[in-house]
Amino acid sequence: MLKNSFKQKVEEILAPADVRINGDRLWDIQVHNENFYKRVLAEGSLGFGESYMDGWWDSTDIAALVEKIFHSGLFQKVKTFQTFKVILKAKLSNLQRKSKAFEIGQKHYDIGNDLYRLMLDKRLVYSCAYWKNASDLDQAQEHKLDLVCQKLSLRPGMTVLDIGCGWGGLAKFAAEKYKVSLVGLTVSKNQLELASAVCQGLPVEIRLQDYREIDQKFDRIVSIGMFEHVGYKNYRTFMEVVNRCLEDNGLFLLHTIGGNQSAATSDPWILKYIFPNSMLPSLKQIATACESLFVMEDWHNFGPDYARTLAAWFNNFDKNWDTLKTDYDQRFYRMWKFYLLSCVGTFRSRTNQLWQIVFSKKGLKDGYQSLR
């Protein structure tokens, strides 16, 4: 009787999102373990994700399921003890302090270059692609890199700092096509090794270094997909570092996922299994962090492109699973599938955004020409 009441409660919670238990629509949830209901009610999103990893439930279309849940606002309404525990921890300590800077590298980016080679595009760009006039992932990522370079008005001989350089995709592209020299920062040993090899022979230096340690001048600064690891307590410090390192007539481009509401932390499941110590900034938090330091020249949102990018990554991951499963188990497969497809849903629901923001230090005299 008690189990039936747990099930009824979950059904009531999901009803506003038009999601049914054991329904026949693609996005409906098929429950394999009756303990699923109690677990989700007690643990919220953490229990939802973990129970999927454990094979307690399935859905034919996870992306559509998550899109419906987020579009209905359920994740904002349903709070558990686990949620408040994560928020309290973020409030009481600086989870992204310097001593923890390399944790994300070890736990996410260092789990295997072969995984990322088989999942990403040929340049290994692990951030949102730009699909305007693109027909496949390789082309869409090249369009994104070129858009970034054009927005920064790169010219031969310029010096560029890339904060969070990944596997060197932008560094190699900009050095070859725009004839600039670059310093790339990463907190991942695997990225350092591969990016250094990829950029060999080019005027590119890749460093294993926290952004707070850099103290030299550059004509241009770019940060793509790294700000999500900075943390709200460090946003101002990040902007002060960029201001310190940017020449007075320089430009800074920030490419980051963003949230519609200010927060202090991220989803408990994402924090535990995918991106430890991560969180998404809001418009307000970014604006507050850069106040009196920069003039905002341009703000470009192409969040829906990330849904398509993530779907392409999952297709590559799924297609290459027979090769990858020699190094990863079935639980990892379900974890990674849930990660990629649930993120597709959050971007389709417009809960998450993707922003490219261009800043100058004192404002461009004749204004900035926006590129799209």
Residues 352 and 258 sit within 8 Å (Cβ to Cβ): yes
Q: How many Cβ atoms from other residues are within 10 Å of residue 372's Cβ? A: 10
Query: In the sheet where 295-301 sits, what is the strand order?
Result: 204-208, 181-186, 159-163, 218-224, 246-259, 352-360, 295-301
**Residue 245 among the catalytic residues:** no
Identified catalytic residue from 165, 199, 245, 343 = 343
**Residue 7: both structure tokens together:** 């099930």
Angle 330-348/62-71 helices, nearest 10 degrees?
40
- The enclosing H or E element of 324 equals helix 321-324
Phi then psi dihedrals of residue 133, to 5 deg: 60, 25
**Rounded to whole angstroms, how far apart are CA atoms 210 and 59?**
40
**Rounded to whole angstroms, how far apart are CA atoms 126 and 156?**
26
Sequence-ordered list of residues with C-beta below 8 angstroms from that of 301, at least 6 positions apart, any chain: 353, 354, 355
**Rounded to whole angstroms, how far apart are CA atoms 245 and 239?**
10
Active site residues: 343
